[in-house]
Every structure is written in C-alpha cells, then in structure tokens.
Amino acid sequence: MPFLRIEPRDCVLTASQSASTHSKSLSGDPEDQKMVLNLRISAEKMAEFSESIAAIRAKEGSELRTELPDGWTIFWKVRLGESRFFVARPEIGQWVATLALSPTHFESFQALLRESGLAAGVECALSSLEKVSRMSNLEVILGVGPPGSAA
C-alpha cells in the first residue's frame, strides 16, 4: 500500500465539528454533526502528495495511507458509486478517515492537483468538486501554503 507521512513542519491541520448541510442538522442531534478537516500542506510536500495520489489511480484497488500530525490517518481510494468521506475515532487522540472518491471525483481531484489549481493561499473543499454521499460525516478542505498560514 502506498504510504506518505506528512510531518508537522510540512503542514497545518485543524479539525472542528460543524452542523451538516442536510435539513436534519436543524434537530441539534450530535449525530447530524460533520467533522471538518482543514489541511494546508507546504508546496514541496503537496508535490509529493500529488505523485502519491497519481500512483493509486494507476493500480486498481490501491489506496494511499497518509499519516498526519495530531493522530490523524487518512486513507485515499477510488471506488465505484458515490463518493463517501468518513471519519472514526478508534481511540482518544486518534482519528482515521477514509476518503473513497468515485472515479470522476478522483479525476477532478487529480486534475486540481496536477494543474496547480491549489495555488498558495487557495483552499478547496473536496465536496465542491463532486457530490458526496449524504451519509458522509467528514468534509476536507485542502490548501497549499507554508505551515502557519492556515486559519
């Protein structure tokens, strides 16, 4: 399995709970909350990340495991059907996310990375590239910039 470690010196990561965008979020039910992960990666590490993402598309059934600061691990994969973004907290201080992108969503994401659509200071919510399953409990906002430049 392809693997990429992103060190604290190469990124800024913030995570917070946010009300989901579907109508049930008005209920105030904690299960209607979405985790929002804001990840800003240095330009140098983003280039390496982009290459690693391209490698999983080349081999069917492959996934990229990225280890991030603050106990975060993200698995990136391509799957048939609707894209799904899930996060779980198997232990205190540990977060595991799976970003299963449809083939067209993956192509849009890869094009964004390849065409430098993420210029320094620009952020992109991955769900803005293509519809994500309503069952998803995670939003990922990705950006490029020097550590310390994320809000």
CATH of the domain at 88: 3.30.1360
End-to-end Cα spacing for the chain: 32
* C-alpha–C-alpha distance, residues 101 and 76, integer Å: 8
Is residue 149 included in any domain, yes or no?
no
Angle between helices 43-58 and 103-114 (to 10 degrees): 150
Number of domains the chain is built from: 1
pLDDT per residue, tens digit, the chain (151 aa), is: 789 999 999 999 999 987 644 444 444 444 457 999 999 999 889 989 999 999 898 777 899 999 999 999 999 999 999 999 999 999 999 999 999 999 999 999 999 988 766 677 788 999 999 999 999 999 999 998 865 444 4
Q: Is the dihedral of CA 44, 132, 99, 95 positive or negative?
A: positive
Is residue 37 included in any domain, yes or no?
yes
Do 17 and 34 touch, CB atoms closer than 8 A?
yes
